[in-house]
Amino acid sequence: MRGIKITTAVRRARITLLAAALTVSGGCGQTPARLISLPASALDTGAVAILGETLPTPHAVPADVPEIQREFRGVWIAAVGNMDWPSRPGLPPEVQRAELLVMLARAVSLGLNAVILQVRPAGDALYASPYEPWSEYLNGQRGRAPSPHYDPLDFAVREAQRRGLELHAWFNPFRARDPTARGSASPDHFTRVHPGLVRRYGSYLWMEPSEPAVHDQAIKVILDVARRYDVDGIHIDDYFYPYRVNDSGGRTIPFPDDENYERYRRSGGTLGRSDWRRSNVDRFVERLYGELKGVRPHVKFGISPFGIWRPGYPAQIQGLDAYEEIYADARKWLNNGWLDYFVPQLYWPVNQRPQAFPVLLDWWVGQNSRGRHIWPGSFSDRVSEGRWPASEIVNQVDVTRQNPGASGNVFFRMRSLMSTRNGLYESLSRAPYNGAALVPASPWLSTVAPPRPRAAIQLTTPGRITIAVAPGGAEEVFLWTVRSRSPQGWRSEVVPGWKRELTLTGTADPIVITAVGRTGNESEPVVLRSE
């Protein structure tokens, strides 16, 4: 780069920019390289000069360079009832932020690569929504904004991605009030604005799933988040029609939609009530997926349905009939490709035959005709409750890895990973999650990879190598992968893409760097030689 002086320290560095082609061997030194403190400083003058220089003929990619593992490692952070975050309503904003940062740090230290944050528990918002009131789980009173003001979702997205974590925004489409709510609805809540579209069911309030205006509201809210926030995913859970509630005598209370169903029949509808209810949910899921792709094509859409489609599928499975009781035809959504990832809630032990985790996982994988991601949900909170040993969750991760049709796990919930007393954090970090992993790519969303990054060794001193990196094109990079070889073998790291300076400790030769885009596609590598 003309007109920029290269510093003396940079001149001393042996600089070579590499690209992919042939096989080379290399490696020297005594200590394996380890990625350490990655400062936020931009490229200094010398580094900019290096990346702009005409560099020697590139080196080739080593034949033995390892692939970065592809695995979704996610956790739900639940807001309803203040289950995870915030820990209680009405905390000062600085405390809320501090709590969330501790959780994000925990996720990073464990080796997770995604968090699924609940932002709409019941027609309310844990963010600055133009359409729905602030959640009481955030501020203690529905409709009350944080004071001093901040936007929790904006904060969460920025801080998660700053740490190399995907952030998926989690919505409940039709629940209007949960029994954990304590305050009254604010004047702008859906139950006040459209009381005729709300049904009381047991201790819940529910937005009527057959009403077009209810669909319109939920989709408007979700698309607003997709447009205004740089989220990596949109996530909905298993609550469409409510789970059945019994009266004091143990009899099931019917969901109060007689008027809506009779209106449907009078208009010429011929479906039985169960099929009609399922069609209402199907219509919502299909529409949401299509409209989301029209707004943000790269944003992944995921659903976490109840883990059993129907008893008897497969033959040994017993339990709740989600198809008939909550009117969720999750198999249809998966087979029709109305989602990008599928998180069946397989909340039972590996060896519990009537609901066996591996048997259900095999069955769901067999239904996946469109090749979408399958990342089973694990009930890790059972470990927090003392009902399961930590080894049960580790076994579920192992079972998932052994299934070629699945590529990750999601844990319910963050609380289970925060404690050091239950042994789960230690068990996961010691074995399954002791190496870096990238979220699997989604080729049906995009196959375009980022350009090969620009990189150069900026400075080599005993026991330390400093590398300058920059995107190879105009688009920002979501993540860098860094693989380095020492006499002890290869080490792999995944680094947030906003970094412009990477530091390795120990010795490393060669060093292989790639850029990763928002849909998980990985660039061609550059290979640096430090010897």
Is residue 263, in this structure, part of any structural domain at all? no
Residue 44 pLDDT more than 70? no
Confidence band for 151, pLDDT divided at 50, 70 and 90? very high
Q: Are 74 and 443 in contact (CB under 8 A)?
A: no
Residue partners of 361: CB distance under 8 A and separation at least 6: 344, 346, 374, 376, 399, 400, 403, 406
For residue 57, what pLDDT is reported? 44
Residue 153 pLDDT more than 70? yes
Which of 385, 410, 438 lies at the terminal end of a domain, its last residue? 438
Establish whether the linkage from the previous residue to 413 is cis, with ω within 30° of 0.
Answer: yes
320-367 pLDDT, tens digit each? 999 999 999 999 999 999 999 999 999 999 999 999 999 999 999 999
Which of 415, 438, 461 lies at the terminal end of a domain, its last residue? 438
Confidence band for 74, pLDDT divided at 50, 70 and 90? very high
Residue 436 three-state SS: coil
Is residue 264, in this structure, part of any structural domain at all? no
Least confident of 30-34, 217-221, 256-260: 30-34
Residue 178 three-state SS: coil
Q: Do 26 and 171 belong to one domain?
A: no
Residue 252 three-state SS: strand
Q: Do 421 and 454 belong to one domain?
A: no
Q: Are 366 and 342 in contact (CB under 8 A)?
A: no
8-state DSSP, 507:
B
Q: Do 470 and 384 belong to one domain?
A: no
Residue located via tokens 């094109």: 473
Q: Do 286 and 429 belong to one domain?
A: yes
Closest CA to 300 of 233, 358, 384: 233
Residue 37 pLDDT more than 50? no
Residue 91 pLDDT more than 90? yes
Q: Do 25 and 153 belong to one domain?
A: no
Is residue 262, in this structure, part of any structural domain at all? no
For residue 58, what pLDDT is reported? 61
Q: How many structural domains is the chain composed of?
A: 2
Confidence band for 531, pLDDT divided at 50, 70 and 90? low
Is residue 55, in this structure, part of any structural domain at all? yes
Residue 53 pLDDT more than 90? no
Q: Do 476 and 516 belong to one domain?
A: yes
Residue 459 pLDDT more than 50? yes
For residue 249, what pLDDT is reported? 93
For residue 339, what pLDDT is reported? 98
Average pLDDT over residues 104-118: 98
Residue 470 three-state SS: strand
Range of the domain at 488: 8-68+446-528
For residue 50, what pLDDT is reported? 46
Average pLDDT over residues 245-262: 96
For residue 22, what pLDDT is reported? 25
Is residue 184, in this structure, part of any structural domain at all? yes
Confidence band for 118, pLDDT divided at 50, 70 and 90? very high
Least confident of 374-383, 402-411, 414-423: 414-423
Q: Are 155 and 97 in contact (CB under 8 A)?
A: yes
Is residue 399, in this structure, part of any structural domain at all? yes
Q: Do 60 and 200 belong to one domain?
A: no
Q: Do 301 and 389 belong to one domain?
A: yes
Confidence band for 47, pLDDT divided at 50, 70 and 90? very low
For Cα atoms 180, 184, 186, give the angle at the middle one, nearest 5 degrees: 120
Q: Do 28 and 138 belong to one domain?
A: no
Is residue 388, in this structure, part of any structural domain at all? yes
- The CATH number covering residue 119 comes to 3.20.20.80
Q: Do 422 and 301 belong to one domain?
A: yes
d(CA 292, CA 301): 8
Is residue 366, in this structure, part of any structural domain at all? no
Least confident of 94-98, 388-392, 420-424, 444-448: 420-424
For residue 12, what pLDDT is reported? 35
Q: Do 125 and 196 belong to one domain?
A: yes
Confidence band for 407, pLDDT divided at 50, 70 and 90? very high
Residue 8 pLDDT more than 90? no
Which of 405, 438, 471 lies at the terminal end of a domain, its last residue? 438
Q: What is the CA radius of gyration of the chain?
A: 25
Task: Please count the other Cβ atoms lying within 10 Å of the Cβ belonging to residue 487.
Answer: 12
489-498 pLDDT, tens digit each? 999 999 999 9
Q: Do 116 and 189 belong to one domain?
A: yes
Pairwise pLDDT comparison (483 vs 28), residue with the higher score:
483
For residue 10, what pLDDT is reported? 36
- The CATH number covering residue 451 comes to 2.60.40.10
Least confident of 15-24, 28-37, 504-513: 15-24
Confidence band for 239, pLDDT divided at 50, 70 and 90? very high
Task: Supply the mean pLDDT for the chain.
Answer: 90
